[in-house]
Amino acid sequence: MAATRDRTHYLYLAVIAAVILGITVGFAAPGVAVELKPIGTGFVNLIKMMISPIIFCTIVLGVGSVRKAAKVGAVGGLALGYFMVMSTVALAIGLVVGNILEPGAGLHITDATADAGAAQVAGDAETTAEFLVGIIPTTLVSAFTEGEVLQTLLVALLAGFALQAMGRTGEPILRGIGHIQRLVFRILAMIMWAAPIGAFGAIAAVVGETGMDALKSLAVIMIGFYVTCALFVFIVLGLLLKLVTGINIFSLLKYLAREFLLIVSTSSSESALPRLIAKMEHLGVSKPVVGITVPTGYSFNLDGTAIYLTMASLFIAEAMGNPLAIGEQIGLLLFMIIASKGAAGVTGAGLATLAGGLQSHRPELVDGVGLIVGIDRFMSEARALTNFAGNAVATVLVGTWTKEIDRARVDEVLAGRIPFDEKTLVDDHGSAGDSDAEAAPSLTKDSDGSSDVPEPREESPAKV
C-alpha cells in the first residue's frame, strides 16, 4: 500500500510540474501553446467518458440497497432546498461586492470587443420548460452515450427504485453492478496517469490564448471575483460546516487537495466529479446521500457560477456606462441562476449563460460580454473550485442532517489514519478494509440484506 501511495504522490507532483511548464510555454511561445489545446481537451473528455457509468453505479447501489424509498426522497428534497438557499446567499454576496468594487468603470468597448460579445449569443437561451423536458433521455441508454448528468441521474433512480421493489430477487443484480463499479473506478485510476500531459496542454493553451495584457487590464474584476469566492468558501461554507458538523473546512479541503489540483489543471470541476463521489463514500457518507447529492449538486448547486454571473453582469453594465438599478439586478440575475442549471463543470458554460441572460433581459449589454472573453478561462478556475467545494460541503451537511454519515470514520479519514486508495478509488481493499467492514452496517441500516453493498468488501483482502 505504501508503494501505491508513493507512486500517486509522484503523479501529482508531476501534475504541478506540468502546470508550471504549461504556463512557461504559454508565455514564451503563445502560438505553439494554443496548438496544444487538444491535449487538455482529450484528457478532460477521457474523464467525462467515465462520469455517466460512475453516477449510474453509485446511485443504483445506494438507492437499490435502501428498503424505504421515502428516505431517498427525503435526501433529494433536503439537498435541493439547501442548494436553493446557498445559491441565493452566493447571489447576494456577489451583488454586494460588485456594487462596492464597480470594476467596470473606466473601460471602453471597441468594435472587436463587441463582436466577441455577440459571438457568445450564437444560440438561443434554453427555457425552463426545455430544461425540464431535457432531463428525460431519448432512450434508456442515450443518457450514457450523450453524457447528460441529469438524464443519467433519472435513469439510475428509476433502476434503483425498481431494484428496491424486486427485493431479494434483485440482489444478484446489485452485486453485479457493484463489480461493474469497481471496474469503472479502476479504469478511471488508469486514466489519471495521463493527468500531467492533460494539465500541460490545457494550461499552456489558456495562457497562450489570454496573454498578459488581458490579465493586467482586467485585474480588478479577476482579483475581486477570486477574493469573493474565497470569502464565500472559507467564511460562509466554513462557518456552516463547523456549526452543523464540527468539521473544520480546512481539513475537508486538505482531504480533497488532489481534486482541487485537477480542477485547476483542467478549468473544469466536472473532471473531479468521479473522484468526489469516491472520496465522499470513503469519508463515511452513505451511498444514497453521495449518489443523490453529488450529481444533483453539479447541476443545481452553482455557488461559484452565481457569484460569477452577478459580478460579471455588474461589471459589464458599468463598462457600458449603463449601470443596473437594484431591481434590474435582482430580476436579471435570478433569471440567470435558473437558466444556468446543468452548466456547472462545463468549461465556458458560465460565459454562454451570461451572454444568453443579457440577450434576454438587456440586449444592449451583450456587446460588453466581449470584455471578459479573454479572462473567462481564468475566472472559470474560481467558478469550478467554488462549485466543487460547495458540493463537497453539501454532501457532508446532507449526510449529517439525514444521519447517514459515520462521524467516527470521518475523523479517522481526515486525520489520515484511513488513507484513500488511489489505485482503485473504491473502499473494498487495503488498510481501510477492516474499518469499512465495521462501518458498512451503520451506513446501510435499511438494506434488504447484508450482501447488497458490504459483500464486495468481504472479497477484498485477496487483492492486496
pLDDT of 334 reads: 72
H helical segments located in 138-194: 142-146, 149-166, 171-191
163-214 per-position pLDDT tens digit: 888 878 888 888 898 888 888 888 888 887 888 888 888 778 777 776 666 5
Secondary structure (3-state) at 429: coil
First to last CA, the chain: 8
Cα atoms in the Cβ-side hemisphere of radius 13 Å centred on 359 = 18
Binned at pLDDT 50, 70 and 90, residue 459 comes out as very low
H helical segments located in 29-68: 30-35, 37-64
Per-residue pLDDT, averaged over 155-159, amounts to 86
H helical segments located in 232-302: 238-245, 249-255, 257-266, 273-283, 287-300
432-450 per-position pLDDT tens digit: 333 333 333 333 334 333 3
Of 90, 106, 109, 433, the residue nearest 282 (C-alpha): 433
pLDDT of 4 reads: 42
Please check the confidence at residue 369 and state whether its pLDDT lies above 80. no
279-311 per-position pLDDT tens digit: 998 998 888 888 888 888 877 777 888 888 888
